[in-house]
Chain A
Amino acid sequence: MVFVRVEYRKFGPLVFISHLDLIRCWERIVRRADIGVSFTKGFHPRPRFSFSPPLPVGFEGERELLDIGLERPCLDIKNRINRAVPQGIYVNNVFFIQHSDLGESVIGGLYNFQWLGGTDRSKLEEGLRNLGLQDWLYTSEQLTSVGISNFKNSLSVPLLFEKGYPSPKKIVELIDGTGEVIWLRLSRVQLLER
């Protein structure tokens, strides 16, 4: 068996599906794409997958990883998959690899939080200080890129999947505590590898 490492984006409507939903979604994508996947044995055969650590619900993933075990590797895997995805998943790169070691190699992620509204900055700063993350809050910047002439707040934090690190959800709670947040964009920009 050989593996293919798929680098993909999860975005748009699909930011709201859970990791379990995402697994089911990928099972169907690879069956539709017909790329010669290797299946587990038993009454409910499943494609052999290994995923990078779950994205929290609500987060975009700009570079997520998935290793797929292949029985009969075919050549145009990327195109085949991209023809079989629902809106909200897109594959950027695929690489054949000999061993799948996602479980050990990925140790964390760089998370980005952007929002509008929520004016009580001092409260947020205090919360971040308590979590030991005070250095990561960026100054407000113009939202020209999205075409809204307003101020958006932005925060980018590397978080490890180890014990003791706050979950991204925790930070969203902090942001929510700063007043009425009217727009949010959450993403995992990058996976941090060993």
Chain B
Amino acid sequence: MNYPFDLLYRVKKPASYIGNEYNLVKKNPEGKVKVALAFPDTYEVGMSNLGFSIIYHIINSREDALAERIFAPWIDMEELLRKRKISLLTLESGKSISEFDILAFSVSYELNYSNILTILDLCGLPLLSSQRDGLPLVIAGGQCTSRPSPIIPFIDCFAVGDGEDIINEIIDTFKEWRLSSKDKSELLIALSKIDGVYVPGVSKTVRRRVIKDLDKAPYPTKPLVPNTEIIHDRAVVEIMRGCTRGCRFCEAGFLYRPVRERSLEVIKKLSSEILKATGYGEIGFLSLSASDYSNLGGLARYIKEELIPSHISVSIPSLRIDTVSREFYEAIGEIKRGLTFAPEAGTQRLRDVINKNITEEDIFKTMEIVAREGWETVKLYFMIGLPTEKDEDILGIANLLNSIKERYRKIDLNVSVSLFVPKPHTPFQWVRQITPKEAEERIRLLKGKLNRKVNLSWHDPKVSLLEGILTRGDIDVSRAIITAWRKGARFDAWTDRFSWDIWEESFRENNIDVDFYLREKSLSDPLPWDFVDTGISKEFLWNEYILSLSGFKREDCRKVGCYNCGVCSG
């Protein structure tokens, strides 16, 4: 515990600030490159992020470096820190940022942008890179760095793509620089030479870094065991990275190509080491689409023969139960707790447009399993505002759900509807995002036709509006982020904290035309993320987009062969 003791008696969630997790190693800082790893959301969210945990592990496995953690303090804690003039302190040694060489943000969600500013400010650093000279160097990695324009003014250097190798190269470069120079601009130039690093003002473009072999990639086998419950409170083994099913709306599907699998041998080894080192009673096998893992049968056997007998429960978040053997899902507790699946759209036509390869038959097959096994609830996900969407497609959601409900009266259907945000680096990056008003109309239409016994919930369309602007925005948007933060924007991803009024005012005061970022774009329009090369060619994305409009489907390249998206050739 590094903050004055009585402070923690006065906050709602004191356990978020105590650190001291099992497996924590405190390193002697002498002579090391000292990195403060910051996650711009709560402890509970940040500690559940695999990328964050991997980077923490890699840095701390080096003899010549150390990493300590910082999370965004909740509002009550921030107030107390400001009142007492205490700066943010790392969880490990309770030091302030002035003792560190590098401040590294893990940014995986746009709605965390305001919290980046909170952390910079509470660390006593100016918000703008241009106003910070000397150390610490402020870097950022994570999903958002593939479209970083709105946060470019706050960050000295971005890491794009898989971070495993980049972080080591950044530390090596830093070490070398420190021996010979004190001039930060020289450091930035040296960093810009690293593959996958983008230095604003120095680099022109950046190519996403991809690690080739998951089996050889470092993986945390002694992860920290939090003392308080976090969002994903279990052991985690990533079984596969990337997905080539080609759902056209899915950012992760394009950002993490190509598919790389971890071999069953290595999965087993990691699992048993992690379980032993942590004492977790549950393990999650992580991937974007577990049903596509080649050795699913082997994994099932491992679960059944080794994990279940040692009283370990298992979850496989992205598994489609209509694709696996009965034996398999019988062994998995996750399903019992609540099966989720995502048809995304209500008609086959629209599912073809977005290339979501679920048919009505698949949906009913899933429901059949649910009914047969006696499970009580199912959660279904849909999106509205998809390209070419018409009233029929909205009514299609209602029809589909109504007929499921009619046939399976006893099963609770929980339906979650979100507003589609067309994401950069996907075939839909040129598409217009619908307005909250249109979204509300479509939800009303859906509600009107939907069987009352189906539980419908939807995301606040204004949150999606902000997400759209921050995802698709250019560097001008950064000014509005600062204004919104000054007006009190914090934790925008948390519904009880989100205030569209603050953001609307901030966009207005900075003369930012929100509609400009949400409208349809043409092939010749420059896009704010054009300088990031994910490996997938723009030509491919555009052709996918045009084909999608007429409902041409695209099969998984792992099944039908390469169609040259570009990723594997580069």
Contact = CB atoms under 8 A, between A and B. Distances in A.
A46 interface: yes
Given A21-B229, A86-B21, A16 B279 contact: no
Interface in B1-42: 1, 5-6, 8-9, 14-15, 17-22
Given A43-B333, A44-B313, A44-B333, A31 B5 contact: no
A20 B15 CA distance: 12
Interface in A35-77: 39, 42-46, 57-58
A88 B233 CA distance: 20
B225 A13 contact: no
B6 A31 contact: no
B281 A14 contact: no
A184 B19 contact: no
Contacts of B332: 43
Interface stretch (A22-30, A91-99, A131-139): A22-30
Given A12-B1, A21-B229, A28-B225, A84 B279 contact: yes
A13 B229 contact: no
Contact of B225 (A57, A86, A184): A86
A46 to B, nearest CB: 7
Contacts of B184: none
Given A25-B227, A44-B333, A13 B18 contact: yes
A58 B225 contact: no
Nearest to A42: B333
B447 interface: no
A2 B186 CA distance: 68
Contacts of B276: 32
B18 A14 contact: yes
B384 to A, nearest CB: 34
A86 B20 contact: yes
A27 B332 CA distance: 20
B281 A17 contact: no
B8 A12 contact: no
A184 B9 CA distance: 8
A27 B278 CA distance: 10
A53 B212 CA distance: 52
B280 interface: yes
A32 B280 CA distance: 8
Contacts of A14: 18, 20, 227
A142 interface: no
Given A16-B14, A29-B279, A86-B20, 19 more contacts: A12-B20, A13-B20, A16-B8, A16-B18, A17-B18, A18-B15, A21-B227, A21-B229, A24-B229, A24-B233, A28-B281, A31-B280, A33-B279, A39-B311, A45-B281, A58-B14, A86-B21, A86-B227, A183-B5
Interface of B: 1, 5-6, 8-9, 14-15, 17-22, 225, 227-229, 233, 275-282, 311-313, 332-333, 336-337
20 contacts: A13-B18, A16-B8, A16-B18, A17-B15, A21-B15, A24-B229, A27-B281, A31-B279, A43-B333, A43-B336, A58-B9, A84-B279, A86-B21, A86-B227, A87-B20, A172-B9, A181-B6, A182-B6, A184-B6, A184-B9
Kindly list the 10 A-B residue pairs having the minimum CB-CB distance in the complex, ordered from nearest: A43-B333, A28-B279, A31-B279, A32-B279, A16-B14, A13-B18, A45-B311, A86-B22, A13-B20, A39-B311
